[in-house]
Structure 1
Amino acid sequence: MIPSPTICRFALAALLGVVACSARASAAESNDAAAARGAQIYAEQCASCHGAEGQGVPSEYPSALTGDSSIGQLTEIISETMPEDDPETCQGKDAEAVANYIFETFYSEAARLRNRPPKIGLARLTGDQLRQSLADLYARISGGSWNHDERGIRGTYFDTPNWKNEAKKIERTDAVLDFDFAHEGPGEGIDPAEYYIHWAGSLMADRSGEYEIVLRSTCSCKLYLGSSDRMFIDNHVQSAGRTEFRKRIHLTAGRGYPIKFEFTQRKRKTDQPPASVSLSWVPPGGVETVIPQRHLISASYPAAFSLQTKLPPDDRSYGYERGIEISRIWDDSTTQAAVEFSKLVADELWPLYERKNKKKPNENRARLRSFLAEILSTAFRGTLDDATRKVYIDKQLDATDDDAEAIRRVMLLALKSPRFLYPLLDTNRSPSQQAANRLALVLFDSLPADEWLLKKISKKELDSPSQIEQAAWNMVNDYRTQAKTRDFLTHWFEVAGGDEISKDEESFPGFNKAVVSDLRASFDAMIDEIVWSEPSDYRQLFQADWAFTTPRIAALYGDAWKPKDAAGEEVDSQKNGQEQNRLTASVSAPESHLGLLNHPLLMSKLAYYQTTSPIHRGVFLYRHMFGRVLRPPNAAFSPLNADLHPQLTTRQRVELQTNEVNCQVCHDKINSLGFALENFDAIGRFRETEKERPIDARGSYEDRNGNKVEFKDARDLADYLVNSEDAHRAFVEAAFEYFVKQPIGAYGPDKLSELTERFRNSGFKVRDLIVWIAVTAATEPLTNHQET
């Protein structure tokens, strides 16, 4: 009997199934054998240098054997370089077997997450978090600032030597404080022999650090900074012949500091000197310049606090600041910070609170107890229980009848308490309080002090993810979040440091501190424009065909950097000295502007004194832009002196120095990226030739999956960065860990992939990503994750 077609099909399927099962069993046996062989080879040839579990051996290779190379790349490295004393020992299938063993056992990211899952670690406040927290603690009583669009400082001009409403002649917003009234006076209807000008507004810094304020005036004047009652420079009684005053102050980014300036021209019987005034500053690492309009806000904010105590640097070994080091220096600095802050609480906040609450009953110093409870509940990030109130407030007030002394005792005790210094010690707080604590810490580097946020806590309106996300959206456009975002991106692009950038004057005439200062302002302004515009598009970091420029920048970098108006016409900004640092937009050919990727500040930072450095640029791209791992070099690296090989281009010289096989393990990755930026010289000017030869800007990159892409120039590289999955993951991970200051893996093994996918689907909106990062940190349960 002939079998039916159906029976034949079943028989064939069964036969194929048996074959497939046999093949799988054979493959499994083969894989098991390869794994066993790999483990044996590693134990015999590798463990003595790298440790039994790849942890490293101090006397040989102290670094752990971890990274992100593919199995294919590991196989190639082992075949060519391992063991170092006899690289030909492990070849072919053996190299592949040991590469697989290393990758799966402890090398890969998945293996590391499996072997030692990261946890949310208990950490103290970093220096930035301490400064911001104290500033918001002060603002809890004085009042907070708000976003205000009008830039400049508000001036009121009087035809008398003091404020008289009937003598008011002019009211306007002045762009900057830089006037030479000479003998003509400040305006129509005002007697040039006698007048008074009152300027008021707020001052805001892009970067935290020490600023030198420089006031020049030929007339009587008084400058208040930080408070309308806090005298900063007093020349009310003019010093004979003295017209310049300098004073230093630490300003914190994202804060508006009220500024008031009173200028008086007095009538004199004898010769009257010409009237002039200017207000300048020297920003951190910068040069003296008239305080630009973009740093002046026409609204007068409430009094603000900026900590002046010097704080030690925080650990940055993971790429972001962590509050993990407890030292005598740190302990002493926090004590000094507490002393400094407590004095202003007693001198400024308590009198202000008393004025606002003078009608409230005051039996048993009730007003003072209420005042201190309000500050401490904010500092401790939650309601005070009876025991805490008794220890921190009642006992201190009972110990002294002097209100100022009691305030200082309370504040010193509170600000040295772990309840303040360790923000994650809040697991006994309500869900809404914990959520608000995380949102403020992630977005502001601070604590919840804004009235609207405290109301949400009291009403339990932050108990759900949707409520938390709505609150995060209310916070993301705040100046404090903007400042932290700017700081993140300058660190990610490695231009945040205050280290001086200098070049050979003969090779690069005109490249000086003033230009570098302008370049820093240009870089910061471009970050703000990209992130806080409506698209908020990450891709513009690499593809924007415009930049902010100044006349000084344009004079050095040429037509591509000349300021242009909205119609694309060139702007003559050199009307007077104050215009030299005025930022305006510049649009030009695609090769001149590649977002921030080829910004002169970055290119000059990643270059030597006289020449470019493809190695520095390649390391930056590989580690920061693509988020990849490079092992430290085996020996100290010294570049070949260009004078020893005058006939070689920079590319040829680097290839000569790094062509040894052990060097190529890393430099094959580094050089091929750095060469793509060779069209930009040591100060970031576009060039097409070097030593009268065409620039060879070809480069390449091999991604985590082993796929290789070729670049013909920086434009190709920029376009690839926009679309690279490695670059997307690197940006999301860097942003998360900078804002949260915890490893992203501690929030789940798939959290990085989830956020990266959501980021891509949003159209790469940076602002949206910041919100999602904050929401993730605020909604993730913490109790079971903390390490003590």
Structure 2
Amino acid sequence: MPRSPYTFQLFLSACLFSIPALRAAPAAPHPGQIIYEKQCLECHGDRGQGVKGEYEEPLIGERTLEALARKIDRTMPEEDPDLCTGEDARQVAAYIYDAFYSQEAQARINPPAKDLTRLTIPQYRTSVMDLVGRFRMGAGFDRPYGKETGIKALYRGFEPQPPEAAKPDEKLPEEEKLQELKATKAEKKLIEAAEASLRKARDKRAREKREREEKRLKDRKAYRLERVDSRIAFHFGADSPDKEKMVPEQFNNRWDGSVFAEETGVYEFIIKSENGVRLWINDDQKALIDGWVSSGPEVREEKQSIYLVGGRAYRLILEHFKFKEASASVELWWKPPHGVLEIIPQHALRQDRPNPLMIISTNFPADDRSVGYERGSSISKAWDQATTEAAIATAEYVETNLDRLAGTKPGAEDRPEKLKKFALAFAETAFRRPLSDEQKDLYVESHFKTAKSPEQAAKRVALFTLKSPRFLYPDLRENDQPDDYDVASRLALALWDSIPDKKLTQAAAERKLHTPEQVKAQAYRMISDSRTKAKLHGFFHHWLELEHAENTSKDPKAFPGFNTEVLADLRRSLLQFIDQVVWSEKSDYRELLQADYLLLNDRLAKFYGKKVEGPEFQRVAFDSKQRAGVVTHPYLLSSLAYSKQTSPIHRGVFLTRNIVGLSLKSPPMAVSFDESHFNPSLTMREKITELTRNQSCMSCHSTINPLGFSLENFDAIGRWRTQDNKKPVNPVSDFATEEGQKIHLTGPRDIVNYVADNPAGHRAFIRHLFNHTVKQQIPAYGPDVLDRLQRSFAASGCNIQILLVEISLIAALDGMK
């Protein structure tokens, strides 16, 4: 039977495929793959995923192919680095770079995606504060806080009056009559009657004299003195605030403005006075401290603590009065987080008078930091419970302040309608967009229909709104395509950790957040806000790993005088230096590294061998070899050291990862530094060299040690030294760069000069800032984003403010067409 053409085709194909010579030969494996599988797979896995108990971290990075080849040539495999060198190292690098190491390879294997994240703890607190504040502060909420330091004072008393002209009292007729009766030895009853009459006459004269004095005092003129005080610390003694124009017997003083909280945490306020005092902080209705009734002539202390969110100014009112006490005085002190007890300084006092702010003080479980930065990726019963408690506290606050928030009065005819209008605005502000008709019915109308009263309905709206995923998950939306409201929400979270303000919401409503130019204009407006500065404080706390510094303690015998006051001053010195650089016109990242000066006050200057007068921080120049920006700031150096000695490993690891921008694997085993294991005559450098001489250690310590040794001229509290253990300090080493160069390091200046214009250092800084700002990994926004940001950063003269705006634009406009 003849075969069909189709059957014959199948038969022919089968015959051809059965002939080995005619089959397509499988592609030969990459030469580097063969070497990798033989020498590397056991520790790193078949796709570089890592092997438990060996090298658990995945082989992913940003090194160039050439830099990767040099790293392999120099350090791999760890047990025998000479086994894979030269052409073999280049072949292995080429294979793993294309197979799984590079960003392009990872994008192919594991296409990056943004995580759906909830509000972090700072974002939750700031968002709720600004949500309620939108209704408390009205139009004035959108303006930045004033920069005028000091606090407005009002002194009230009376002008002095000339005393009543002194004149001798005329002899009373009753007195003459009594004398006459006594002289004639009149009867006892007549004399007693005359004495009683004289007493009445004298009482009448005294009463008339008092009445004249009271009338004179009543007719005296009131005196007012208004001025701005740099701080509140006065000892009037027996005098008045104005010796020439105010009487000292009675006066009343009132300071009214605000106090600026730089950091989030618990603030303790203390008043020292021998008179009556009252203090209000962030509440103009209920006093934080009420010592209005003086208990006697002794100076007493009144103290209370309050939780404040950093980056905000809080209303401060202090009243003090004297009434006929022998002396008068008043001082206002505080102890801020990470600070020491001190009279509130001028830079923390403001003349603005903001309305009270809603503060969430609920304890939340810590945010996830498994990827190196805080993000809202973890969900737990504890977190759900915390958000419930915070929502209840906010709803109760709304109920208590409902008329002030809704702009109505009890008993007003239009009150129910105004409360419903407020509830709708509250929900839309929290959800960062207008509500649909269905959402209005669900979140607002349903509560006003079923609640017993409009007040209860408004409280329910607040509670259900704050527990809604639409508030807790800002990037949760119904459509894949983001709109202007999404842009506004992302921008506010990136720069403020908060909700959009009125201007941003209005721009979204008018569809004016579509283009990069429109969004950039808003971003530049927003970075001048104190909330951006507060968020950047959090970034530098993360980048410089300042959590270690908060637990710094030194041996008092080795470093006498290095106490909590010095440590608090060092912290303020570092933060003020960062602020001055970041918020200057140049905003130059390189100055953070290369500055040859420190900000010192009189206490720090004395401790670090300089001369400064006064408690305010001043710029003090140093030898450029001895100081190099944040890298050599004593606060950072102290945190990266032991209680008695330096720690080149801690300092070297920090420099490697955070400043130079190189990755390090976790050590195969934890090796603690034990002083007793070393010859007591050795320097710290000699001890670390001995500790890490093992070949497996040197794969990382060949980078760590040279960087750490370059800071050995600084002791454990960041002072310059030339000797260690009675031997000359040796900071000199050779550092092998990723580009294949060798840099001769003689001190910190060589490091910062290399890093300041080096792409790897820039990329490390950019990555840290992006992660902290956006709470996402950079590759999720595209494989070329980091490169684009790095080129833009270099082109701008390493301007940090411009970089921050560029990062916020990438996050805000992601997915927009």
Equivalent in the alignment of 2:692: 658
Indicate whether 1:248 and 2:305 are aligned: yes
Deviates more, 1:245-254 or 1:127-136: 245-254
Equivalent in the alignment of 1:221: 277
**What displacement does 1:583 show?**
2.4
Equivalent in the alignment of 1:261: 318
- Match for 1:194 among 250, 265, 279? 250
Indicate whether 1:119 and 2:107 are aligned: no
Q: Which amino acid aligns with 2:783?
A: P
Q: Which amino acid aligns with 2:577?
A: M
Query: Structure 1, residues 536-574: CA drift from partner, whole Å, max 9, x if none?
Result: 111110122332212221221111xx33xxxxxxx3x2x
Contact 1:673 1:700 in 2 (8 A): no
Indicate whether 1:516 and 2:550 are aligned: no
- Match for 1:714 among 736, 748, 766? 748
Indicate whether 1:157 and 2:155 are aligned: yes
SS at match of 1:159: strand
| Shift in alpha-carbon separation, 1:451–1:97, aligned structure 2, 3 A | closer
Deviates more, 1:186-195 or 1:744-753: 186-195
Distance 2:82 2:606 in 1: 57
**What displacement does 1:444 show?**
0.3
Distance 2:383 2:299 in 1: 40
Equivalent in the alignment of 2:718: 684
| Shift in alpha-carbon separation, 1:217–1:343, aligned structure 2, 3 A | farther
Aligned residues: 725
Equivalent in the alignment of 1:332: 385
Indicate whether 1:648 and 2:703 are aligned: no
SS at match of 1:499: helix
Query: Structure 1, residues 213-267: CA drift from partner, whole Å, max 9, x if none?
Result: 2222222111111132242111123456682222222211111111111111122
Contact 2:67 2:739 in 1 (8 A): no
Indicate whether 1:320 and 2:354 are aligned: no
Query: Structure 1, residues 70-106: CA drift from partner, whole Å, max 9, x if none?
Result: 6667667767876667777656654543343233322
Query: Structure 1, residues 132-189: CA drift from partner, whole Å, max 9, x if none?
Result: 101110111012252312111111111169xx99734321111112222222232232
**What displacement does 1:669 show?**
0.6
| Shift in alpha-carbon separation, 1:496–1:327, aligned structure 2, 3 A | same
| Shift in alpha-carbon separation, 1:456–1:255, aligned structure 2, 3 A | same
Distance 1:126 1:733 in 2: 19
Indicate whether 1:631 and 2:683 are aligned: no
SS at match of 1:130: helix
Equivalent in the alignment of 1:13: none
TM-score by length of 1: 0.87
Query: Structure 1, residues 573-621: CA drift from partner, whole Å, max 9, x if none?
Result: 2xxxxx4xx3233233323432222111000001111111111111101
Distance 2:508 2:85 in 1: 63
TM-score by length of 2: 0.84
Contact 1:206 1:524 in 2 (8 A): no
Q: Which amino acid aligns with 2:585?
A: E
**What displacement does 1:334 show?**
1.0
Indicate whether 1:104 and 2:159 are aligned: no
Deviates more, 1:326-335 or 1:65-74: 65-74
Equivalent in the alignment of 1:352: 404
Q: Which amino acid aligns with 1:121?
A: D
**What displacement does 1:514 show?**
0.9
Deviates more, 1:140-149 or 1:624-633: 140-149
SS at match of 1:597: helix
SS at match of 1:456: helix
Indicate whether 1:167 and 2:219 are aligned: no
SS at match of 1:315: coil
| Shift in alpha-carbon separation, 1:166–1:529, aligned structure 2, 3 A | farther
Alignment of 1:11-90 (within 5 A): 36-68=30-62
Indicate whether 1:397 and 2:448 are aligned: yes
| Shift in alpha-carbon separation, 1:514–1:723, aligned structure 2, 3 A | same
- Match for 1:531 among 578, 582, 586? 582
Q: CA RMSD in A?
A: 2.7
Equivalent in the alignment of 1:209: 265
SS at match of 1:685: coil
Equivalent in the alignment of 1:24: none
| Shift in alpha-carbon separation, 1:172–1:109, aligned structure 2, 3 A | same
Q: Which amino acid aligns with 1:275?
A: A
SS at match of 1:66: coil
Equivalent in the alignment of 1:11: none
Equivalent in the alignment of 1:343: 396
Contact 2:136 2:404 in 1 (8 A): yes
Alignment of 1:125-164 (within 5 A): 125-143=119-137, 144=141, 146-159=144-157
Distance 1:66 1:616 in 2: 24
Query: Structure 1, residues 369-414: CA drift from partner, whole Å, max 9, x if none?
Result: 1001111101001001122121222222222233443333221211
| Shift in alpha-carbon separation, 1:59–1:665, aligned structure 2, 3 A | closer
Contact 1:49 1:57 in 2 (8 A): yes
Contact 1:156 1:168 in 2 (8 A): no
Q: Which amino acid aligns with 2:387?
A: T
**What displacement does 1:516 show?**
0.6
**What displacement does 1:529 show?**
0.7
Equivalent in the alignment of 2:239: 184
Contact 2:403 2:409 in 1 (8 A): no
Contact 1:504 1:609 in 2 (8 A): yes
Query: Structure 1, residues 342-367: CA drift from partner, whole Å, max 9, x if none?
Result: 1221112x21134468999728x211
Deviates more, 1:40-49 or 1:607-616: 40-49
| Shift in alpha-carbon separation, 1:89–1:681, aligned structure 2, 3 A | closer
SS at match of 2:568: helix
| Shift in alpha-carbon separation, 1:191–1:546, aligned structure 2, 3 A | farther
Equivalent in the alignment of 1:460: 511
Equivalent in the alignment of 1:309: 362
Query: Structure 1, residues 679-709: CA drift from partner, whole Å, max 9, x if none?
Result: 1110001112223333222244433333332
Distance 2:497 2:221 in 1: 47
Deviates more, 1:200-209 or 1:142-151: 142-151
SS at match of 1:511: coil
Distance 1:479 1:655 in 2: 46
Distance 1:403 1:219 in 2: 46
Indicate whether 1:595 and 2:629 are aligned: yes
SS at match of 1:668: helix
Contact 1:218 1:273 in 2 (8 A): no
Q: Which amino acid aligns with 1:264?
A: F
Contact 1:603 1:682 in 2 (8 A): yes
- Match for 2:414 among 347, 362, 366? 362
Distance 2:473 2:88 in 1: 51
Equivalent in the alignment of 2:203: none
Query: Structure 1, residues 303-334: CA drift from partner, whole Å, max 9, x if none?
Result: 21221112222112223210000011111111
SS at match of 1:231: coil
SS at match of 2:517: helix
| Shift in alpha-carbon separation, 1:548–1:87, aligned structure 2, 3 A | closer
| Shift in alpha-carbon separation, 1:374–1:431, aligned structure 2, 3 A | same
Deviates more, 1:542-551 or 1:147-156: 542-551
Structure 1's unaligned 5+ residue stretches are 1-31, 564-570, 574-578, 784-788
Distance 1:746 1:591 in 2: 41
| Shift in alpha-carbon separation, 1:222–1:117, aligned structure 2, 3 A | same
Indicate whether 1:276 and 2:276 are aligned: no
Q: Which amino acid aligns with 2:328?
A: A
Contact 2:549 2:635 in 1 (8 A): no
**What displacement does 1:42 show?**
3.0
**What displacement does 1:755 show?**
1.4
- Match for 2:801 among 767, 770, 776? 767
Equivalent in the alignment of 1:431: 483
